[in-house]
Chains A and B, each alone.
Chain A
Amino acid sequence: MTGKRPIELGLLYSRSGGYSLLAEACRSGAAAAIAQVNADPSIDLAFLPVERDPGGDLDRYAPLCEDLLRNTGTRHILGCVTSSSRKEVIPVLEKLGGTLWYALPYEGFEASDHVVYTHACPNQHLLPLLDWALPAHGARAYLTGSNYIWGWEMNRLARERITATGGEVVGERCLPLGSTEVGRILEEIKATRPAFILNNLVGPSSYEFLARMHRLAATDPDFAPSRRPILSCNLTEAELPAIGPAAEGLVSAGPYFRGAAAGGFGSSPEAAAHAAVMELARLLNGRPGAEALALPALLDRVPGPGMIDRTTHHTALPVMIARVEGGIFRPVKTLPALPGDPYLARDRTPVAAPQLRVVS
């Protein structure tokens, strides 16, 4: 590392708790990128990771973020899995002038001056997924999700899109984070027989729901995933080991799936965390002291187009819709890179198909 400027890089991921698999995926993407940067003689800096682990406790994110920014040399932090935790650290970033690099899909309606969003928002996951599913599988949807901003907002947006295009939401139920009481959701799905199910549950709730749906499909082929698929925007390879054989037939939307695009990453959060570190290295390379700049000033310092949109701090990402077959995501549809549009300001809802009825 001789001749390289040492730059501390914060990592704020929960290594325990319900969503630790996603956190580990981000950590390994970051670790690979850090090793790559540090070994690259053409980059004049070396990242020194400084880790804090909130242990899945929402109330520990803000104090640990403050600890990183006050007590270490860290200005840039990779971290947070849930939107709730991201919203907890933003006030600290504002107060102390730090930048968060966020590498997971989220529900949109945010564009902080202190955050870079390197994974997808709804115009890059949910809306293309619904636009594919509604004509392919039918317009009767069941919505489920975890009781926090991700589940609520994804379901709200899905309902808006489905009803605007002439479809119907036959049921909707949310579970508290971490709850595995999925019985009532299954009863409702059995009773309503929806054309597809949108699953916005996270962690153990999702694992239990998918296991029960798998058992249901085994006893009643009418609920096989090929007939009534279960769709998600947050399912990646990182969680397949926890889901096991119940993952077969699940459909997910994301910017990357293992083996389906270049890069050799294990999952899209890993790819998004890797991209974040590489982009930060590019922005800082050859600019001593630039690591202390606030994000807008840093982006101004570097000429030419980069991966970060200067207005929204989101990134342009391809959209892939993929189905798990034999334990591997196989793309069923791929769209070219779309810019992130967090407030859906550029979105045009497809016009509802006229509903023709025989008048008797």
Chain B
Amino acid sequence: MRRAIRIQNLGGATAVILHRPHPTVQALERQLRAIGLQVSEAWPELGPVALAADFVFFDADTGHDEQFPWAPGQSPMPMVALIGSEAPGRIEWALRAGAHAQLLKPVGDNGAYSALLIARDAFDAQRALTVEISDLRRRLDERQTVVRAVTLLAARGARDDAAAYAQLRQMAMAWRVSFEDAAARVVAMLTAAPEEARDDRG
């Protein structure tokens, strides 16, 4: 799946930098302001205000899970790890914390822009996949409902399973709901009023 990356809309975006006061923070702030972001600093933890930020930059060298007001890997915005020590333990932690991109320390005159775009793209892709996976999972869970609906419709007068399936699809379109939701409605209707259904058939 190839998507165009979102290049605009960085102007006015907000970023929070979670790092102890340090020249690296000043250098990063300068870059981010030049790009057009509004920047604030937080240390030793992200306050609730951070929940509204568009980006979070966090220190991977001394960071720990309790600094974030969300569960590890569940940030509601793209996150960029600021890495000084390229030690495997720290990289592992930064990944688990939910880094979407990284920037090596010391931060100098560049690097922030590509980190912002890469982080946002990775965040968008991850979110799209999460939505798609939960939708697919729901549909998988409802396979049984579809089978039941098709069986019920076939028993109620459709010529065969294929015709019952087509009938269900038409109902979904008419009701403007998903195939699975239509199946759930059919199952609810036909099992809630079994006599009626039997009468119809007879």
A interface vs B, CB < 8 Å? 59, 62, 83-84, 87, 91, 107-110, 148-149, 152-153, 156-157
Asked whether any CB of chain A lies closer than 8 Å to the CB of B89, the reply is yes
**B22, B86, B89, B106: which contacts A152 (Cβ < 8 A)?**
B89
Q: In the complex, A108 Cα to B87 Cα: how many Å?
A: 8
Q: How far is the CB of B185 from chain A (nearest CB, A)?
A: 52
A148 touches B62 (CB 8 A): yes
B89 touches A91 (CB 8 A): no
Q: Which residue of chain A has its CB nearest to the CB of B85?
A: A149
Q: In the complex, A83 Cα to B106 Cα: how many Å?
A: 15
With a cutoff of 8 Å between Cβ atoms, the chain B residues found around residue A108 in the complex are 87
B85 touches A156 (CB 8 A): no
Q: Which residue of chain A has its CB nearest to the CB of B62?
A: A148
CB-defined interface of B88-104 with A at 8 Å, one 1/0 digit per residue? 11101000000000000
A109 touches B106 (CB 8 A): no
B90 touches A110 (CB 8 A): no
Q: In the complex, A181 Cα to B100 Cα: how many Å?
A: 36
A109 touches B87 (CB 8 A): yes
A149 touches B87 (CB 8 A): yes
A153 touches B87 (CB 8 A): yes
Q: In the complex, A320 Cα to B90 Cα: how many Å?
A: 29
Q: In the complex, A22 Cα to B90 Cα: how many Å?
A: 26
With a cutoff of 8 Å between Cβ atoms, the chain A residues found around residue B87 in the complex are 107-109, 149, 152-153
Q: How far is the CB of B108 from chain A (nearest CB, A)?
A: 9
Known contacts being A148-B62, A149-B61, is A87 close to B84, with CB within 8 Å? yes
With a cutoff of 8 Å between Cβ atoms, the chain A residues found around residue B84 in the complex are 87
With a cutoff of 8 Å between Cβ atoms, the chain B residues found around residue A83 in the complex are 85
Most buried by A among B22, B89, B92, B106: B89
Q: In the complex, A107 Cα to B90 Cα: how many Å?
A: 12
A153 touches B89 (CB 8 A): yes
Given contacts A149-B87, A156-B89, 8 further A-B contacts (CB under 8 A): A59-B22, A87-B84, A108-B87, A109-B88, A152-B90, A153-B87, A153-B90, A157-B89
Report the tally of A-B residue pairs with Cβ distances under 8 A: 34
CB-defined interface of B50-84 with A at 8 Å, one 1/0 digit per residue? 00000000000110000000000000000000001
Q: Which residue of chain A has its CB nearest to the CB of B61?
A: A149
Q: Which residue of chain B has its CB nearest to the CB of A83?
A: B85
Q: In the complex, A299 Cα to B105 Cα: how many Å?
A: 27
A149 touches B90 (CB 8 A): yes
Q: In the complex, A157 Cα to B87 Cα: how many Å?
A: 10
Q: In the complex, A91 Cα to B83 Cα: how many Å?
A: 13
13 A-B residue pairs with CB within 8 Å: A59-B22, A87-B61, A109-B86, A109-B87, A110-B85, A110-B86, A148-B62, A149-B85, A152-B87, A152-B90, A153-B85, A153-B89, A153-B90
B106 touches A91 (CB 8 A): yes
Q: Which residue of chain B has its CB nearest to the CB of A88?
A: B84
Q: How far is the CB of A135 from chain B (nearest CB, A)?
A: 26
Q: In the complex, A110 Cα to B90 Cα: how many Å?
A: 13
With a cutoff of 8 Å between Cβ atoms, the chain A residues found around residue B23 in the complex are 62
Q: In the complex, A59 Cα to B22 Cα: how many Å?
A: 8
With a cutoff of 8 Å between Cβ atoms, the chain A residues found around residue B85 in the complex are 83, 87, 109-110, 149, 153
Q: In the complex, A157 Cα to B89 Cα: how many Å?
A: 8
A156 touches B106 (CB 8 A): no
Q: In the complex, A62 Cα to B62 Cα: how many Å?
A: 18
With a cutoff of 8 Å between Cβ atoms, the chain B residues found around residue A62 in the complex are 23
Q: In the complex, A150 Cα to B97 Cα: how many Å?
A: 20
With a cutoff of 8 Å between Cβ atoms, the chain B residues found around residue A91 in the complex are 105-106
Q: In the complex, A87 Cα to B106 Cα: how many Å?
A: 10
Q: How far is the CB of B86 from chain A (nearest CB, A)?
A: 6
Q: How far is the CB of A306 from chain B (nearest CB, A)?
A: 26
Q: How far is the CB of A168 from chain B (nearest CB, A)?
A: 19
Q: How far is the CB of B111 from chain A (nearest CB, A)?
A: 14
Q: Which residue of chain B has its CB nearest to the CB of A344?
A: B88
Q: Which residue of chain A has its CB nearest to the CB of B24?
A: A91
Q: In the complex, A156 Cα to B106 Cα: how many Å?
A: 25
Most buried by A among B23, B87, B105: B87
Q: In the complex, A83 Cα to B92 Cα: how many Å?
A: 19
Most buried by B among A83, A87, A108: A87
Q: How far is the CB of A177 from chain B (nearest CB, A)?
A: 10
Q: In the complex, A86 Cα to B62 Cα: how many Å?
A: 15
Q: In the complex, A156 Cα to B22 Cα: how many Å?
A: 27
